[in-house]
Structure 1
């Protein structure tokens, strides 16, 4: 599968960690553990509008017309601006993808990876050639209903949109080749984001602010931290080894240049992700997203964009891009820089 292009759209405004600590909007210790110096903030633009900007950038960079898209998958985790409404159809309408089938994906923070997986499966089934699909993500974490610094443990949330343009079959000038995308889940961990709350009649009936800390405390009180830590390590190992197997790579292959982490807080990465990944492969483990914070559904697509922005792979070299999200679900993508002729 060819990745023709990628895009990340970020607002200009930033909310600095130092300012948040000084204004008592986040604890100093939590800010240190997160390790994000600043977070992008979208004040005057909605999440779907940000996605339109990212989509247009990806189409322009990939040299593909919106009219040639057969599928548009849009993933999000937070409110998109209207009730009983499809942001995926809005994005398709705004960019002129009138021949596409728009699909919305809600798999919380792993939504971008899930959208990619669905798009790959759909492209693989179609018979026309070439075939194009666009994956977008966008989230805007607006106070007072979402506290980007305090609504969660181990993650601070930045506003952003991403886009990934897929092509099947791949062409020689594609930016990257997608060699594998391995996903696994532990569905019983859904209770970590439910706690003891009853099913509500309306949004925010149980809490006026999205408060994942509160539900996680209840879950960890009953089940302990070690159970989740063990499952997290096992699932990281499972998707990485599975992705390497699917891409026909060994863990010590010298062409494997890096493993790119999701945009989570520094402490959670150091405690769980770095040690687990270093047990699997000697390839460097890298964190290239700490400057934006967690982008909701957009971490994995933003990681693909960062691989290209840094020109991190020479022709024939491989990189792994990892992600995880509530539910819980874990994903690992293997990408290759195509040979240039």
Structure 2
């Protein structure tokens, strides 16, 4: 999506629970084998004691405080997640808004699986331009993957799932250049989907009357095996590569950085940030394409977080800011991906 003008991102926050489960502990408990732990490359996965919406409230408080934004100034709150939020037939987005005191906000839930956080940013950006008087948009994500219903280490191929929450404030930049406008600046967002791959997470399973009616535990490996038997790995690889390339190129073009370079020929694209997937998955599915973008350094975050469900992109934005990795005139391309499949790229700059 080509933005009419850049938007500000303030207070990007990553909230992680204090408890961790190391790979060695998971192996000792028989949750995963040592070879898989090595391929994943995670030092450990955070394990929550709070429900996901409660974590989202914690992240939201941090984001609003860091941004200097009163909860009453939030006109839109978008909450994204992939896994159970703690209650049936219930809106976690409204819970987050209520607990934060964002009484004037319209809460919306976003379910685009692991791409949900990036999708929420894109939706918030669109709404800000359509409704200039909206004020501030708060985007939160939160997920937890507890036993026995979810196997965080071995329930999927090439991904370990960590518990945590993220939040950020999206807003218009002040006119006239007065003051510090934001922590990061959002210049472009691009999203590409390949709906023909939805079967990767459905497989041959019949439609059920309720969650986990086919078994007591979510088994993503089963559905992926069914897809690969029917379609073959090549079908997924071709669609994934083409879609990711299209998202990257569209985002850079919309930001005026075709090939990672500005019109003046310099190289302002400093980083390309991969999703928080396992090391082997990034090596095979993302590094071959992303390593060649504009001479930028490829970052592989998540060794200490694992995959954060809908929160990967926002977590990377939070870390880019917290570590002061972008100076004025420098950019990072943050890549997000989710089942369905959908790929999004966010081009952000330093201030």
TM-based fold match above 0.5 = yes
SS in structure 2 of the partner of residue 2 of structure 1:
strand
Distance 1:75 1:327 in 2: 15
The one of 310, 330, 336 equivalent to 2:323 is 310
Uncovered stretches (5+) of structure 2, i.e. residues with no partner: 1-6, 262-266
The one of 202, 213, 226 equivalent to 1:218 is 226
The one of 260, 273, 282 equivalent to 2:273 is 260
Distance 1:135 1:127 in 2: 17
Using the TM superposition, give the Cα deviation of residue 28 of structure 1 relative to its aligned residue in structure 2, in angstroms: 1.5
Q: Which residue pairs with 1:12 in the alignment?
A: 18
2:294 is the counterpart of 1:290: no
2:29 is the counterpart of 1:23: yes
Q: Which residue pairs with 2:181 in the alignment?
A: 173
SS in structure 1 of the partner of residue 186 of structure 2:
strand
Q: Which residue pairs with 2:107 in the alignment?
A: 102
Deviations 1:127-167 (A, max 9, x none): 327x2000000001111001101111111000000001011
SS in structure 1 of the partner of residue 182 of structure 2:
coil
The one of 24, 28, 51 equivalent to 1:46 is 51
Distance 2:246 2:257 in 1: 15
The one of 307, 312, 324 equivalent to 1:299 is 312
Regions of 4+ moved over 2 Å: 169-173, 278-281
SS in structure 2 of the partner of residue 147 of structure 1:
coil
Residue 191 of structure 2 contacts residue 344 of structure 2 at CA under 8 Å; is this kept in 1?
A: yes
Q: Which residue pairs with 2:4 in the alignment?
A: none
Q: Which residue pairs with 1:135 in the alignment?
A: 139
Q: Which residue pairs with 2:71 in the alignment?
A: 66
Distance 1:234 1:159 in 2: 30
Alignment of 1:233-252 (within 5 A): 233-252=241-260
Using the TM superposition, give the Cα deviation of residue 222 of structure 1 relative to its aligned residue in structure 2, in angstroms: 1.2
Using the TM superposition, give the Cα deviation of residue 252 of structure 1 relative to its aligned residue in structure 2, in angstroms: 4.2
Change (3 A) 1:135 1:252: closer
Residue 252 of structure 2 contacts residue 260 of structure 2 at CA under 8 Å; is this kept in 1?
A: no
Distance 1:209 1:119 in 2: 34
| TM-score normalised by L of structure 1 | 0.96
Q: Which residue pairs with 2:118 in the alignment?
A: 113
Q: Which residue pairs with 2:3 in the alignment?
A: none
| TM-score normalised by L of structure 2 | 0.94
Aligned residues: 336
The one of 134, 144, 156 equivalent to 2:148 is 144
2:85 is the counterpart of 1:80: yes
The one of 12, 35, 42 equivalent to 2:41 is 35
SS in structure 2 of the partner of residue 124 of structure 1:
helix
Residue 162 of structure 1 contacts residue 302 of structure 1 at CA under 8 Å; is this kept in 2?
A: yes
The 10-residue stretch of structure 1 (91-100 or 20-29) with the greater mean CA deviation from structure 2: 20-29
Uncovered stretches (5+) of structure 1, i.e. residues with no partner: none
RMSD of equivalent CA atoms? 1.1
